[in-house]
C-alpha cells in the first residue's frame, strides 16, 4: 500500500474550481515533487492532504494517508494525524515560528500535543531532533527565541517540528524559496538525508525546476489545477512529452540575445562609496557602534551596458541600490551619473532622476491601486520642467505601453485588472516613459513565473536593441543574471569581491565566495539528462 | 531584562522632572493672582501684599519651583489657598475614591473585553461575532453620563439595589465602599470595555492570520488550542497599550461620572480648585495625575517585555 495515494481529487473553493482529477502516489523513501506555475494548484494539493484548507473548500475523490481517507476523517482524527503521521514545512521561515515562544517549547509542543511521551522525555526528544537538523544544544539551546536565529536556522527549527514524531510523510511547500542559494543547498541536503534515514515519503511543492531535478525521484507537473504529466525524474527530464512541460523547462533555461555593446563611455560611476548605519547605543556614555553596509564600492557602468549585481541577502546590494537612487546619504565616496553627483537636492536632483528609473520586485505593492494606468505610468513626468500635455501626453502613454507589449486601451484600466507579469510590464513602461539613460532592476523578475519571466527578459533584450538602454540588474538568481548581463559584480559583506565579463565570471570564478555561490546554485542541465 | 527595566526607569524620572517644570510654568503664566482672589476685589493693596508674602508668592520663580518640587518629594504639597488645609490631606482623601474607582472600572472593563474580544475573533463572521460587534458599537456610541443616569434609574431608584450617589468612605467596611462605587465603575467601564473588546478582536484576528498559527495547526493543534496557545499572547501588545491609555483616562477623566454620582474624587477637586484659583491644589493634582500616567506607562513597558522576548534586548 502506498504511503499517500491521491485519487481523482477535485477541489473547489466557494464554487471556483481549484483542482480537477488530481492523482498521485508516494511510496516510503520517495521524494515526489509537484511543480508548476502559480495558480497550478500545487500548494492546494498539499493543503488538502493536511486538511488545512480555507473556508468554503469542497473536495471530492480519495486522499488515502495510510489507512485513512482524509476527506472523510473528522477534525479530531485529522488533529491526531497532523504532526504525528504527516509533518509539514512551509515557505517562509521568518514568520512560521511563534515569536514569543522558545524553540524548545515549539518543538516539544508537537510531541506533547499528541501525548506521545511525558514532559521530560519530550524535551529530551526535542533536544535530539534539533541536534539532528543541525542545531546542537551547545550552540542553540532550547531557550533560544526565533528572532535570535537566521532564516536558514529557523527553517531547521520548522523541519525539527515537522519530524519530531517521525511522521511517515513530510510535506514541504516551497521549503527553500525564501532562502539564499548557499542556505538552500544545505536545507535541501538536510531534507534528502532525513528522508533516506527515516524512510519517509516526501511531497515537495516547488516552482524551481532546478531544485526539482536535483532532489526528486518522481515529478508531477501541474497546470490550472490538473496534472499535465508525471513520471520518474530522469525519464521526465529526458522526454518532456507534454508541450507544457517542454515550455516550462525551456522557459527556465531561457537565454536572451542581447544586442552588441556600444563603445564604452561612462554613464554611472561609483567611487569608493561608503554607507554605514549607527547601531543603537549599548552604553550610555560610549559612542554608538556602526554597521558598514557598503564599504568602499567602486564601479563604472557604461552607456548601453547591462551590468549585473549578485549577492546573498544582507550583502548590501539593496543599500547600494538605494544609494544609487539618491535615497541614502553616503558616509564617503561619490556616485556620478553622466558626470554629475546624484546626491544633489532640488532642480539638479530632478535632472539626474529623470535620466534614471527603477523597477522593483513586487508587482503588487509598487502601484497605487486607486490610480489608473495612464496616471501611474506618467508619474515620472513631474521630473520634467515642461511635461507633455494633451495629445503629446496621450502619444507618450501609447508609445510606452506599446513598447512593453501592452495595448494603448489598457491606459484607462486599474492595476488590479492585470496579472503579475503584466504589472511588471507596466512598471517597465513607467520607467521608460521619460526615456531614461539607465534603469535599475531590483529583483524585478524574482516574483514572476518562469514563462512570464522569460517573456520579460526577452522584452528587456528588445528594449536594449530599440532604445540603447543601459541597466543595472540586481538579483539573487544567478541563472537570470547570467543570461541578461554583459558584465557582473559579486557582492559580499558590503564589498564587491569579483567583477568581470559575465560569461568569464560564471565559467571561471576566481573568488572563493563566487565559487561557493555558483556551486550552491542548483542547475537545470537538460543536455546532461538527455 | 534588568537593563531594559533600568532604562525605562531612567526615562520615567526624566519625564517626571520635565513634566513638573512644564506644569509649574503653565500655571505661573495663567492670569489671576491667588492672594487678590482670596481677599476679594475690594481688598487693600497692603493686605494683599501681606498675604502674598505669607503664601510665598513674592519669592523668585525658581525658588518657588524648588520649594514646591522639593516639598512634593517629601509628601508636603503645601497649603491650599482657599481651604487653608494641607493639600496632601485633601488629595489623599480624594485619592481613596478615585484610585479604587479607576482600578475597579479597569478590572470590569478587562473582564468584559477579553472574553468578548476572544470569543468574537474565534467565531469570526458568525452570529456571536456580529452580536459582540453590535454591542461594542453601542457601547462606544452611548455617552457615559447618560448610561450612568440609566443605571441610577434602574438599579437605584426602581430596584433599590444601590444608592443613587455619594460615598460613605471606607470606614464603614470594604463592601460598603465597593458597593457605592459599583454603579460609577460600571458606567465608566462599559465604553472602555467596548473599545478594548474591539482592539482585542482585531489584534487576535491579525495574529490568527499569521503563518505560525498554520504551523501550530500542522503540528496537530485544534483551532481552539492554536488560538489559546499561540494567538492570545501575541495579541496582547496592542491590547496592553490601550489598557495603559484607558487607566490614565479613568483616573483623570472621571469628573463627569463623579458629578453624576456625587463622588468626592480627584476630578471634582481639580474642578473646584480651578474655579477658585487655588493654584497650589491644581498644580499638585495635575502633577499627581502626570505621575500616575507615567508610572502606568512604565508598567505597560515592563509588561510588553514580559510578553514579547524581542523587546527585552531593545534599548
Chain A residue with Cα closest to B230:
A98
Q: Within chain A, which residues score under 50 in pLDDT? A: 528-530
- Looking at domain B93-275, its CATH architecture is Orthogonal Bundle (1.10)
* pLDDT tens digits, one per residue of B73-127: 887 877 777 777 888 888 888 888 888 999 999 999 999 999 999 999 999 889 9
- Please answer whether residues A314 and A151 qualify as being in contact, where contact means their C-beta atoms are separated by less than 8 angstroms: no
- Please answer whether residues A109 and A175 qualify as being in contact, where contact means their C-beta atoms are separated by less than 8 angstroms: no
B6: pLDDT strictly greater than 80: yes
Q: Which residues of chain A neighbour B212 with C-beta distances below 8 Å? A: 95-99
pLDDT value for B237: 87
Q: Which residues of chain B neighbour A282 with C-beta distances below 8 Å? A: 315
Chain A residue with Cα closest to B125:
A55
Tell me how close the Cα of A439 comes to any Cα of chain B, in angstroms. 35
Put simply, the answer to whether A97 touches B220 (Cβ < 8 Å) is no
pLDDT value for A252: 85
Residue A147: Cβ-neighbour burial (10 angstroms; 0-12, 13-18, 19+): middle
Put simply, the answer to whether B234 touches A75 (Cβ < 8 Å) is no
Put simply, the answer to whether B218 touches A80 (Cβ < 8 Å) is no
Residue bearing the bigger pLDDT, A135 or B63: A135
DSSP, collapsed to helix, strand or coil, labels residue A91 as coil
pLDDT value for B292: 86
pLDDT value for A530: 39
Residues 231-250 of B with CB under 8 A from A: 233-234
> Does A166 lie at the interface with B, CB-CB under 8 angstroms?
no
Chain B residue with Cα closest to A281:
B315
Chain A residue with Cα closest to B309:
A100
Out of A80, A98, A145, name the one closest to residue B230 (CB): A98
pTM of the predicted model, to two decimals? 0.84
CA–CA dist B306, B8 (Å, integer): 14
Out of B215, B219, B307, name the one closest to residue A100 (CB): B307
Side-chain-side CA neighbours of residue B76 (13 Å): 7
- Residue A57's CB is within 10 A of a number of other CB atoms, namely 16
| DSSP count for chain A of H helices, then E strands | 19, 20
Residue with cell 551596458: A305
> B57: pLDDT confidence band, cut at 50, 70 and 90?
confident
CA–CA dist A484, A79 (Å, integer): 49
Put simply, the answer to whether A52 touches B214 (Cβ < 8 Å) is yes
Q: Which residues of chain A neighbour B315 with C-beta distances below 8 Å? A: 280-282
Out of A100, A113, A280, name the one closest to residue B219 (CB): A113
Mean pLDDT of B247-270: 84
**Rounded (5°) CA angle A237-A240-A242:** 150
| C-alpha B245, offset from chain centre | 8
Chain A residue with Cα closest to B227:
A98
* pLDDT tens digits, one per residue of B146-172: 888 888 888 888 888 887 777 877 787
Put simply, the answer to whether A88 touches B309 (Cβ < 8 Å) is no
pLDDT value for A397: 92
pLDDT value for A528: 47
What interhelical angle do B2-29 and B61-73 show, nearest 10?
A: 140
Put simply, the answer to whether B218 touches A82 (Cβ < 8 Å) is yes
User: Checking DSSP bridges between strand A31-35 and strand A218-223, what pairing results, if any?
Assistant: parallel
* Interacting residues of B71 by C-beta distance below 8 A, sequence separation 6+: B77, B78
Chain A residue with Cα closest to B305:
A100
Residue with cell 539626474: A352
CA–CA dist A291, A319 (Å, integer): 12
* pLDDT tens digits, one per residue of A435-455: 888 999 998 888 788 888 888
What are the residue boundaries of the structural domains of chain B, listed by start? 93-275
> Does B11 lie at the interface with A, CB-CB under 8 angstroms?
no
**Rounded (5°) CA angle B294-B299-B300:** 95
- Residue A407's CB is within 10 A of a number of other CB atoms, namely 10
State the complex-level ipTM: 0.82
Q: Which residues of chain B neighbour A47 with C-beta distances below 8 Å? A: none
**Rounded (5°) CA angle B112-B113-B114:** 100
- Residue B120's CB is within 10 A of a number of other CB atoms, namely 26
B299: pLDDT strictly greater than 60: yes
DSSP, collapsed to helix, strand or coil, labels residue A490 as strand
Out of B220, B309, B314, name the one closest to residue A84 (CB): B220
- Please answer whether residues A33 and A204 qualify as being in contact, where contact means their C-beta atoms are separated by less than 8 angstroms: yes
Q: Which residues of chain A neighbour B219 with C-beta distances below 8 Å? A: 82-83, 109-110, 113, 161
* Interacting residues of A413 by C-beta distance below 8 A, sequence separation 6+: A372, A373
Q: How far is CA A442 from CA A255, B182, B295, in A?
A: 20, 62, 47
> Does B212 lie at the interface with A, CB-CB under 8 angstroms?
yes
Q: What is the spatial order of strands in the sheet that A201-205 belongs to? A: A86-89, A169-173, A201-205, A31-35, A218-223, A226-232
- Residue B66's CB is within 10 A of a number of other CB atoms, namely 12
Q: Which residues of chain B neighbour A116 with C-beta distances below 8 Å? A: none
Put simply, the answer to whether A82 touches B229 (Cβ < 8 Å) is no
Amino acid at each position: 500500500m502506498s504511503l499517500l495515494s491521491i485519487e481523482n481529487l477535485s477541489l473547489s473553493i466557494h464554487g471556483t474550481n481549484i483542482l480537477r482529477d488530481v492523482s498521485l502516489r508516494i511510496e516510503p523513501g520517495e521524494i515526489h515533487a509537484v511543480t508548476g506555475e502559480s495558480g497550478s494548484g500545487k500548494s492546494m494539493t498539499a493543503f488538502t492532504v493536511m486538511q488545512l484548507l480555507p473556508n468554503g473548500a469542497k473536495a471530492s475523490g480519495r486522499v488515502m494517508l495510510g489507512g485513512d481517507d482524509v476527506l472523510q476523517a473528522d477534525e479530531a482524527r485529522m488533529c491526531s494525524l497532523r504532526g504525528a503521521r504527516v509533518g509539514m514545512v512551509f515557505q517562509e521561515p521568518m514568520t512560521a515560528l511563534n515569536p514569543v515562544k522558545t524553540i524548545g517549547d515549539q518543538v516539544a509542543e508537537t510531541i506533547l500535543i499528541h501525548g506521545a511521551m511525558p514532559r521530560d522525555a519530550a524535551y529530551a526528544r526535542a533536544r535530539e531532533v534539533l541536534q539532528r537538523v543541525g542545531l546542537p544544544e551547545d550552540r542553540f539551546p532550547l531557550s533560544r527565541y526565533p528572532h535570535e536565529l537566521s532564516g536558514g536556522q529557523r527553517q531547521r527549527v520548522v523541519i525539527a517540528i515537522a519530524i519530531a514524531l517521525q511522521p511517515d510523510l513530510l510535506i514541504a511547500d516551497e521549503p527553500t524559496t525564501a532562502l539564499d542559494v548557499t542556505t538552500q543547498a544545505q536545507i535541501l541536503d538536510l531534507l534528502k538525508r532525513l528522508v533516506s534515514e527515516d524512510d519517509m515519503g516526501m511531497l515537495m511543492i516547488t516552482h524551481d525546476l532546478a531544485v526539482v531535478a536535483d532532489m526528486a525521484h518522481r515529478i508531477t507537473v501541474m497546470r490550472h489545477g490538473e496534472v499535465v504529466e508525471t513520471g520518474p525524474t530522469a525519464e521526465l527530464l529526458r522526454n518532456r512529452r507534454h508541450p507544457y512541460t517542454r515550455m516550462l523547462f525551456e522557459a527556465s533555461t531561457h537565454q536572451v540575445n542581447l544586442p552588441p555593446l556600444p563603445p564604452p563611455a561612462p554613464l554611472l560611476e561609483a567611487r569608493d562609496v561608503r554607507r554605514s548605519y549607527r547601531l543603537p547605543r549599548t552604553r550610555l556614555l560610549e559612542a554608538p557602534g556602526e554597521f558598514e553596509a557598503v564599504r568602499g564600492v567602486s564601479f563604472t557602468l557604461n552607456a548601453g551596458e547591462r551590468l549585473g549585481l549578485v549577492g546573498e541577502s544582507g550583502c548590501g546590494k539593496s543599500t547600494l541600490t538605494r544609494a544609487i537612487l539618491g535615497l541614502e546619504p553616503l558616509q564617503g565616496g561619490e556616485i556620478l551619473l553622466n558626470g554629475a553627483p546624484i546626491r544633489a537636492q532640488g532642480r539638479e536632483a530632478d535632472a539626474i532622476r529623470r535620466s534614471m528609473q527603477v523597477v522593483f520586485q513586487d508587482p503588487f505593492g509598487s502601484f497605487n491601486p486607486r490610480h489608473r494606468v495612464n496616471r501611474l505610468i506618467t508619474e515620472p513626468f513631474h521630473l520634467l520642467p515642461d511635461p507633455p500635455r494633451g495629445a503629446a501626453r496621450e502619444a507618450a502613454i501609447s508609445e510606452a505601453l506599446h513598447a512593453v507589449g501592452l495595448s494603448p486601451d489598457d491606459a484607462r484600466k486599474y492595476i488590479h485588472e492585470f496579472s503579475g507579469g503584466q504589472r511588471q510590464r507596466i512598471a517597465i513602461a513607467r520607467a521608460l516613459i521619460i526615456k531614461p539613460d539607465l534603469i535599475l532592476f531590483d529583483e524585478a523578475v524574482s516574483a514572476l513565473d518562469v514563462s512570464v519571466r522569460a517573456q520579460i527578459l526577452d522584452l528587456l533584450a528588445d528594449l536594449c536593441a530599440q532604445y540603447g538602454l543601459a541597466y543595472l540588474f540586481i538579483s539573487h538568481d544567478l541563472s537570470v543574471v547570467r543570461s541578461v548581463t554583459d558584465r557582473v559584480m559579486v557582492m559580499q559583506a558590503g564589498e564587491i569581491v569579483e567583477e568581470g565579463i559575465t560569461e568569464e565570471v560564471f565559467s571561471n570564478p576566481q573568488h572563493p565566495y563566487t565559487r561557493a555561490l555558483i556551486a550552491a546554485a542548483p542547475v537545470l542541465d537538460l543536455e546532461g539528462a538527455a | 531584562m534588568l537593563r531594559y527595566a533600568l532604562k525605562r526607569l531612567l526615562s520615567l524620572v526624566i519625564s517626571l522632572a520635565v513634566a513638573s517644570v512644564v506644569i509649574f510654568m503653565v500655571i505661573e503664566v495663567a492670569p489671576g493672582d491667588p492672594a487678590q482672589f482670596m481677599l476679594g476685589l475690594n481688598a487693600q493693596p497692603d493686605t494683599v501684599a501681606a498675604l502674598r508674602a505669607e503664601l510665598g508668592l513674592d519669592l523668585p520663580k525658581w525658588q518657588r519651583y524648588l520649594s514646591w518640587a522639593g516639598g512634593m518629594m517629601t509628601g508636603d504639597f503645601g497649603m491650599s489657598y482657599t481651604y487653608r488645609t494641607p493639600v496632601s490631606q485633601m488629595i489623599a482623601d480624594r485619592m481613596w475614591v478615585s484610585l479604587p474607582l479607576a482600578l475597579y472600572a479597569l478590572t470590569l472593563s478587562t473582564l468584559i473585553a477579553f472574553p468578548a474580544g476572544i470569543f468574537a475573533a474565534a467565531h469570526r463572521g458568525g452570529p456571536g461575532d456580529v452580536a459582540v460587534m453590535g454591542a461594542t458599537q453601542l457601547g462606544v456610541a452611548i455617552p457615559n453620563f447618560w448610561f450612568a443616569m440609566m443605571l441610577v434609574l434602574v438599579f437605584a431608584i426602581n430596584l433599590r439595589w444601590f444608592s443613587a450617589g455619594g460615598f460613605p468612605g471606607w470606614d464603614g467596611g470594604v463592601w460598603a465602599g465597593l458597593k457605592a462605587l459599583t454603579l460609577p465603575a460600571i458606567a465608566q467601564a462599559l465604553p472602555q470595555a467596548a473599545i478594548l473588546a474591539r482592539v482585542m478582536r482585531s489584534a487576535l484576528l491579525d495574529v490568527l492570520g499569521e503563518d505560525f498559527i498554520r504551523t501550530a495547526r500542522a503540528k496537530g493543534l485544534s483551532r481552539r488550542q492554536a488560538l489559546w496557545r499561540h494567538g492570545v499572547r501575541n495579541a496582547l501588545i496592542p491590547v496592553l497599550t490601550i489598557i495603559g491609555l484607558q487607566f490614565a483616562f479613568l483616573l483623570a477623566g472621571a469628573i463627569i461620572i463623579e458629578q453624576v454620582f456625587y463622588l468626592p474624587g480627584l476630578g471634582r477637586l481639580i474642578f473646584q480648585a480651578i474655579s477658585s484659583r487655588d493654584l497650589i491644589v491644581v498644580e499638585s493634582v495635575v502633577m499627581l495625575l502626570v505621575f500616575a500616567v507615567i508610572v502606568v506607562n512604565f508598567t505597560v513597558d515592563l509588561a510588553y517585555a514580559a510578553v514579547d522576548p524581542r523587546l527585552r534586548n531593545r534599548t
